[in-house]
Structure 1
Amino acid sequence: MKHILIILLATISVLSCKAQVPLIEKYGNITNGIYYQDTNNDLGKLQGIWLFEDNNEIFKIELIRKEQYLVTYSNISYYHDVLYGEYQYVNANNNQVVNTLNNINAYTDVSEHLIYGNYIMEATHLPVCDDCLPDERRVKVSIKDPERAYFDYNMIIRHVPAQQFGAPEHIIVRIKMADMGLYPEGEPTDDRLPLRRELILYKQ
């Protein structure tokens, strides 16, 4: 009887474990019940508070990795690790455009945050990273303007370890429009975020 109980418990344990594969293998072929894990720490090393500051202009973000986030749609359910966060942006005219840093713990569903995603990019993925190492990866996430929800922005994040280029640990980010969508009639059409240039943010 004791042996049967041990076998039964072992079987239940095996069945309850989610099959784990690296997060980078998620794209193109999602499998039901799989856990796409940040095994290479591509998301984990981006966690923390990061700051760009140049005269009056400030871009400050806080990023957190959420592990085993459940996604369900149609007949498919799977888990994956994701990056989420909030940010502050003060433009060069010293006008605060966005500041939602206080919302970092505001939502039970992390997809509601202004920064969210986990797309792993190789160095050769567009836009090509000319000075990346051959095996270096970047992370692409969505970033939202809370007053321009109809705009679709992406932010590409590159992590640079401390001392690699004689500088402290930092990230290089580039924000760009993801898609050219239709603007709701009567709504503003101007971009308020720092687009189409690289910003260097240092870990705080």
Structure 2
Amino acid sequence: MKKLIILIILISTIACKAQTPVVSLDARGYKTSDGAYFKDLNYEFNKFEGTWLYTNGNTSLTVVLEKKEMVYNGTDYEDKLIGEYQYIENGIEIVNTLPNLTNTNVAKHKIKGRHIIPNNLYLACNDCGVNERRVMLVFYDSERSYLSASIILRYLEGSNPEQMTATIISDGGGMIPNENSPTELRVPYGEYLMVKQ
């Protein structure tokens, strides 16, 4: 009987440790145990999924975003937004990563991340609502991988058709390989008003 009780306690302990604690996307990593699942509990990523288009004459930016659930990052699990983009300037295609959407390796996407930011961080949002939250993702230009950039997405509630702003900013990091290297992405920094397609 004693052996049976010890066996039950041992199995219970192992089962408890095997469970993954589920926390909100914006939970602090240092306050959670390894193996936590940073989950999109409020479905904040869902509104960003889909194809978005900015146009200005012969210039356009297309961004396609998808939500990936329970992606393992080496320590924890997390829901992420991933995506790809196409930029056309004056009718000439400058960059097109859209064919990379079929890549199953989340780390290989040119847009990716999970950071939820309030209205007063990174890029202050003076016209955001008090509790409005935006998403900040990595924005990667494979021809200029030495540049560090982000894209901040703000879904415009109540817009019809659905709209969001996509603001591409430099993170200020990176090391220029040589004096002739470009210092900006192929997609210009700035804010784009995008319409869901």
Query: Same fold, TM exceeding 0.5?
Result: yes
Which of residues 67, 89, 94 in structure 1 aligns to 2:91? 94
Structure with more of its chain in helix, by fraction: 2
Indicate how the Cα distance of structure 1 residues 124 and 186 shifts in structure 2: closer, same or farther if over 3 A, else same.
Answer: closer
Equivalent residue, structure 1, for 2:83:
85
Q: What SS class does the counterpart of residue 200 from structure 1 fall into?
A: strand
1:194 to 2:191 alignment: no
Which amino acid counterpart does residue 52 of structure 2 have in structure 1? W
Distance in 1 between residues matched to 2:183 and 2:114, nearest whole Å? 27
TM-score (norm. length: structure 1): 0.83
Partners of 1:155 and 1:90 lie apart in 2 by: 18
- Name the CA distance, whole Å, in 1 between partners of 2:99 and 2:60: 16
Post-superposition shift, 1:186?
6.3
Q: How many residues align?
A: 188
After TM superposition, the structure 1 = structure 2 runs for residues 1-204 of structure 1, keeping only pairs within 5 Å, are 16-27=18-29, 29-72=31-74, 77-91=75-89, 93-106=90-103, 108-161=104-157, 164=158, 167-185=160-178, 188-191=181-184, 192-195=186-189, 197-204=190-197
Partners in 2 of 1:125 and 1:190 — Cα distance? 25
TM-fit CA distance, 1:47:
0.7
d(CA) in 2 for partners of 1:78, 1:183: 32
Q: Where do 5+ consecutive residues of structure 1 fail to align?
A: none
Aligned Cα RMSD in Å? Answer: 2.2
- Hey, what's the Cα distance between the residues in 2 that align with 1:116 and 1:45? 16
How far 1:149 moved relative to its partner? 1.0
After superposing on structure 2, the runs of 4+ consecutive aligned residues of structure 1 that deviate more than 6 Å are none
Q: Percent identity?
A: 32
* Preserved contact between residue 26 and residue 36 of structure 1 (Cα < 8 Å): no
Give the TM-score normalised by structure 2.
0.86
**Cα displacement string for residues 40-63 of structure 1 (whole angstroms, at most 9, x for unaligned residues):** 222222111101111011100110
Gaps of 5+ in 2: none
Deviations 1:85-120 (A, max 9, x none): 1100012x32211111121012x3201100011111
